[in-house]
Amino acid sequence: MHKVGFFRSIQLKFIIMFILLLLVTIQVISAYFVRGLETELKENFEESVEANVSILEVNLEQAFSKERSDDDDEQGLASEVQNIVRVNDTADIINIQVVDMQSRIMAASDISNSSDIGKKTTDDFINNVLRFGVEDKSNVINREGNRTYRRAIPLYDHEQTQVGALYIEASLEGVYDQLDAINRVFLQGSILAITVSAFLGILVARTITKPIQEMRRQAQTMAQEDFSQKVNVYGKDEIGQLAESFNDLNAKLKHSRALTEEERRKLSSVLSNMSDGVIATDRNGFITLLNDAAGILIGYDPEDAQGEFLLDVLQLDENSVDITELPDSGSMIIDFSDENDIYLVRAKFSTVSDEDHDVTGFITVLSDVTEQEKIERERREFVSNVSHELRTPLTTMRSYIEALTEGAWEDKQIAPKFLAVTQNETDRMIRMVNDLLQLSRMDNKSESLQQQRTDFINFFHEVIDRFEMNLSEDMKLQRDLPNEKYDVWVDKDKMVQVLDNIISNAIKYSPEGGTIRLQVSKQNRQLLVAVSDQGTGIPYDKVDRIFDRFYRADQARSRKLGGTGLGLAIAREIIEAHHGSIWAKSKEGKGTTILFTLPLVNKKRRGK
């Protein structure tokens, strides 16, 4: 789970936001306040200087207006001016000079500059006032880097005649020292305010970020498909409403997840238990889902099929088949047959579309139609065989009847032979129709068995005895039957029909002087019956087909002997109706053995 660091968290952002807002506020207030205070202090300073200037101006005007004798005129004026300048010196005023109209310094308040008295000043600031008679003021920075305020005004006597200029230089460092002290107070206050705001910002930010952090943790829990937890609601504000909405979303997602999981399980169960195969692909035809049934049908591991191209898996030629046109074809038969087995699969194609009716994928449903094709082929073959079997005797009968009609009936030697052949062919067709009717009834389960408890060994002996009475001397029936009693539940008439058919076939296909071996043995809870002949045998690949309807291993010989090709098919139906099995073993040139089993009656039941 990814954890957000403190320096990247929203909590730090809230704290920084509070501090920045406070700093901006303090800076704006301090800038406005300091600037106003600076202006106020400068104005007060200038007013203080102006007050001193006014006093000096009045005193100096009086001094210049006094009448003096010629002897002490200049010296007395200079002494009085010097006294006035020194008396009016204040802490802020660092230098006062009185300059006459010849630019000579008459008096100075700064003792260090007393050597300049009597000398001409070169200061253009003062000379401009003497020259133009206009007062002036300015702020400058002296050589020592101190800020000073300079003021120069013209001096007049009582006759308003300019007699000189007054120059005052005052230090502004006091004003700026006060501003610096105030700025230090603001700085200390700002630091204190930032500290307090940071603490308050942490508290406020935690009240905001705590529910957000809980929602983040809940979202991460929900991402792991755990919807059991809820977010705490701390109030009714926007964050509280967001928490309530988050809990509602959690409940809806939980319900939706449960429905989706239920539908997924249903779909998975349906796909797993479907006998038909299902293949899902994306819009480009690459497989995203292949169920087990489809894997069995096409011989593909479902896990290996992920990401494979559909046409490759179905063994279709991409050059001759366009995947986008498959849904329009509806379905097709795909041949997976090899040299030994026939294997056919029907594929039905459909598309998957989104809400905008854009194709997002394809669904292919596969079903094994091999048995259907085999049944259809057998049906066609059966119809063909029935037609052939009926046409042969009918053709023979027609030929003989035409011969009789044309006059052969008058020949007393030929007519009886023709009628006998016609009679035999008629009997053969009747037997064939009866066999077909019997098979039809057994197929439709409309012919019930009349079963009864029977000692099969005695029953088998009776059947064999009947054959031996009509058997030629060169044919032998060898009995290998146990001297025990084996009870079975059988329909005697039907079982006689089975044994007659099997033994008759053995006799028909055995050579002259051959031996028919009849065996009975017990295997577990079943009775095994075997009838073996010494005939020509049946090829290995055709042994299982002798129980098919109308199938003959030797077509010419079978017809010559009068068989219908339905005897063994009827025998199989009867044996299976008795819950037994029937099969054959044969080798070419070494004869054939027909075997079948019947369930024995339970001994405990027989003891009762």
Provide the CATH number for the domain around residue 134.
3.30.450.20
335's CB contacts (< 8 A; 6+ apart) are 343, 344
29 and 71 inside one domain: yes
CATH of the domain at 539: 3.30.565.10
Q: Which of 349-353, 409-413, 523-527, 592-596 has the lowest mean pLDDT?
A: 409-413
- Structure confidence at residue 519 (pLDDT): 93
For the cut 60, the answer to whether the pLDDT of residue 441 exceeds it is yes
Query: Percentage of the chain surpassing pLDDT 70?
Result: 83
DSSP state letter for 562 = T
Confidence of residue 1 (pLDDT cuts 50, 70, 90): very low
Q: In total, how many domains does the chain have?
A: 4
Specify if 262 maps to a domain. no
Of 295, 294, 349, nearest to 322 by C-alpha is: 349
User: Which helix (DSSP H) or strand (DSSP E) does residue 513 occupy?
Assistant: none
Q: What is the mean pLDDT of the chain?
A: 78
Please indicate, yes or no, whether residues 398 and 545 belong to a single structural domain of this protein: no
Q: Are residues 402 and 481 in the same domain?
A: no
DSSP class of residue 57?
H
Report the chain's terminal Cα–Cα distance, integer Å: 77
Is the domain of 430 the same as that of 475? no
**Among 120-129, 364-373, 527-536, whose mean pLDDT is lowest?**
364-373
Q: Give the pLDDT mean for 414-438.
A: 74
Are both 410 and 472 inside the same structural domain?
A: no
Residue 231 in domain: no
- Last residue of some domain: 443, 463, 493? 443
| The token pair that represents 434 in the structure block | 């009866």
CA–CA distance, 83 with 76 (Å, rounded to integer): 11
Tell me, what CATH number does 409's domain have? 1.10.287.130
What percent of the chain clears pLDDT 90, i.e. is strictly above it?
7
The pTM of this model reads 0.40
Domain termination site, one of 178, 211, 244: 178
Residue 3 lies in a domain: no
pLDDT above 80: residue 511: yes
More confident residue, 72 or 209: 209
Beta strand 287-290 pairing with 277-282: antiparallel
Q: Which segment of 154-158, 249-253, 315-319 scores lowest on mean pLDDT?
A: 315-319
Edge-to-edge order in the sheet of strand 592-599: 476-480, 515-523, 526-532, 592-599, 582-586
Domain's final residue, options 443, 473, 489: 443
3-class state of residue 598 by DSSP: strand
- β-partners of residue 331 are 348
Burial-class residue 504 by CB neighbours within 10 Å (0-12, 13-18, 19+): middle
Q: How confident is the model at residue 383 (pLDDT cuts 50, 70, 90)?
A: low
Number of neighbouring beta carbons within 10 Å of residue 65:
13
Determine the angle formed by the axes of helices 492-509 and 456-469, rounding to 10 degrees: 50
Q: Do 62 and 142 lie in a common domain?
A: yes
Confirm if 119 and 105 have CB atoms less than 8 A apart: yes
Q: Which domain holds residue 101?
A: 12-178
Domain co-membership, 168 together with 20 = yes
In a domain, 168, yes or no: yes
Q: Does 337 share its domain with 484?
A: no
Q: Would the pLDDT of 5 be above 60? A: no
Based on the fold, state whether residues 401 and 300 are members of the same structural domain: no
Confidence label for 556 from pLDDT (cuts 50, 70 and 90): very low
Q: Are residues 513 and 596 in the same domain?
A: yes
One domain, residues 427 and 542: no
> Is the confidence at residue 608, as pLDDT, over 50?
no
What mean pLDDT do residues 366-390 have? 69
Residues 395, 341: one domain?
A: no
Distance CA 408, CA 11 (A): 124
